[in-house]
């Protein structure tokens, strides 16, 4: 006790008086902090815990695609084997959470108008090569897509006559090029089955320079205006299509 008293006598008066406002400010800070900082602050991290609850209480509208199987197993089974196997039901039919809770009260819509399928299948040069595309202006104009194609098992209704029914991107490019009048089969020998099972039977691709040489070699029996090169030496170790794109050869 004596020691504390001794310390108290040593501290100057003005410091003791200054302590009063300091203690007041600290007390005010503690009281204000108690009211201003939310009680659940810091439970998970440096934020309000109930902010997480606000976020995760949001309603779910898109369910998982496996839920559709419970009732529509016939359609799901058909779709499983088709080219659209990886397209989820909700991609076309819209959010289905409400439908699963009340199947009769909340019917889902199926997009039947002609404008919907082209969102994916209209020809755009930005789309990846090989993705099936059409040009809707010339592809059975004004006919609804579903009148020929089943969206759950999208096959061509009949074997296509022209390559460009599927290879619109290449056909469109070739149409602008000097090779416009060369038919696809001139370079790609194509088995007839390719039209029915395109991924099981592939068309051939040229292997040697000889094919291009049939028109572009110096002594080729072809019209004079076709550019000629020495097939044996031109381009050294490369084959033609490593530098030139045969569907759109560059023009100088």
Site of interaction with other proteins (CB under 8 A):
43-48, 51-62, 64-65, 84, 86-88, 90-91, 94-95, 118-120, 122-128, 131, 176
Nearest to 114, CA basis, from 149, 160, 86: 149
CA-closest candidate to residue 194, choices 172, 163, 168 = 163
Q: Distance (Å, rounded) from C-alpha 122 to C-alpha 134?
A: 5
Q: 123 or 212, CB closer to other proteins?
A: 123
Closer to other proteins by Cβ: residue 146 or 215: 146
Q: Phi and psi (nearest 5°) for 48? A: -70, 130
For the bound state, the minimum distance from the C-beta of residue 179 to other proteins, rounded and expressed in Å, comes to 16
Q: Which is nearer to other proteins, 23 or 222 (CB)?
A: 23
Nearest to 110 by CA among 97, 127, 93: 93
Residue closer to other proteins by CB (options 28, 175) is 175
Considering the complex, what minimum distance in angstroms separates the CB of residue 17 from other proteins? 24
Q: What's the min distance (Å) between Cβ of 60 and other proteins?
A: 6
Q: Least distance from C-beta 94 to other proteins, angstroms?
A: 7
Per-residue burial over 115-137, b = 16 or more CB atoms within 10 Å of its CB, e = otherwise? ebbbeebbbeeeeeeeebbbebe
């Amino acid at each position: 006790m004596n020691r504390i008293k001794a310390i108290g006598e040593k501290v100057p008066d003005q410091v003791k008086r200054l302590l009063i406002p300091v203690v007041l400010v600290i007390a005010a800070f503690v009281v204000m902090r108690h009211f201003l900082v939310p009680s659940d602050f810091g439970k998970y991290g440096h934020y309000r815990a109930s902010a997480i609850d606000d976020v995760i209480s949001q309603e779910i509208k898109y369910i998982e695609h496996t839920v559709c199987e419970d009732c529509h197993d016939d359609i799901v089974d058909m779709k499983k084997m088709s080219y659209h196997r990886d397209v989820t039901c909700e991609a076309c039919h819209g959010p289905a959470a409400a439908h699963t809770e009340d199947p009769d009260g909340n019917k889902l819509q199926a997009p039947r108008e002609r404008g919907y399928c082209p969102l994916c299948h209209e020809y755009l040069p930005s789309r990846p090569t090989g993705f099936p595309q059409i040009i809707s202006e010339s592809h059975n104009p004004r006919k609804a897509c579903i009148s020929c194609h089943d969206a759950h098992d999208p096959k061509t209704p009949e074997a296509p006559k022209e390559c460009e029914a599927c290879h619109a991107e290449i056909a469109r490019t070739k149409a602008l090029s000097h090779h416009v009048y060369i038919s696809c089969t001139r370079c790609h020998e194509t088995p007839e089955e390719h039209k029915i099972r395109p991924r099981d039977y592939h068309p051939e691709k040229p292997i040697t320079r000889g094919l291009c040489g049939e028109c572009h070699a110096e002594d080729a029996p072809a019209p004079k205006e076709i550019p000629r090169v020495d097939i044996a030496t031109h381009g050294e170790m490369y084959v033609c299509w490593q530098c030139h794109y045969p569907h759109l050869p560059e023009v100088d």
